[in-house]
Amino acid sequence: MRGREGVMGFPLRLAIAFLIVSLCVPPLVAATEHFQTQTEIAAVDQEVGRISEAAARVYYAGAGSTCTLDVAIDAACTVVIGGENADAYSIAVFRGDTEQSRTYLDRPPVRLLGPAFAVNGPATLLFSCMNAEGIYGVEVSFVD
């Protein structure tokens, strides 16, 4: 009789095991996707740091100075350099339509001239320090 009870309890144990597995899989998948997103953002933030350093270097060198920088932005992300008002002193990282991070160029306070400039994928950027209509700052553009 004892062997028969074990055989009859097996489907119940199997059902409980599948239930436990099905409850664990979605959080593990979500955690993996979150880790992948954070890894992509961290890589783009390193590129933002390089962009910030290049802008500061050109700014310190004075009007008329230029430099180029090769960047590789993850295809899922977009880096927006400059913009209007306070955004003219910042670099933002977007993943899709969501802003992931924003870095302000406050040491020194480098004004990024011109409209917001979006970079996605690999690109070579040209940084030019200039005094445009009494506004001293750095203009960023693509190298042709």
pTM for the structure as a whole: 0.81
Q: In what order do the strands lie in the sheet with 117-119?
A: 98-104, 90-95, 77-81, 117-119
Q: What are phi and psi of 120, to 5 degrees?
A: -140, 125
What is the model's pLDDT at position 37? 86
What is the model's pLDDT at position 21? 87
Rounded distance, CA 86 to CA 104, Å? Answer: 9
What is the model's pLDDT at position 3? 58
Looking at the chain, the number of H-run helices and the number of E-run strands are 1, 8
For the chain, list residues with pLDDT below 70.
1-8
Task: Name the amino acid, one letter, at 95.
Answer: R
What is the model's pLDDT at position 6? 59
What is the model's pLDDT at position 5? 62
- CB 124 within 8 Å of CB 142: yes
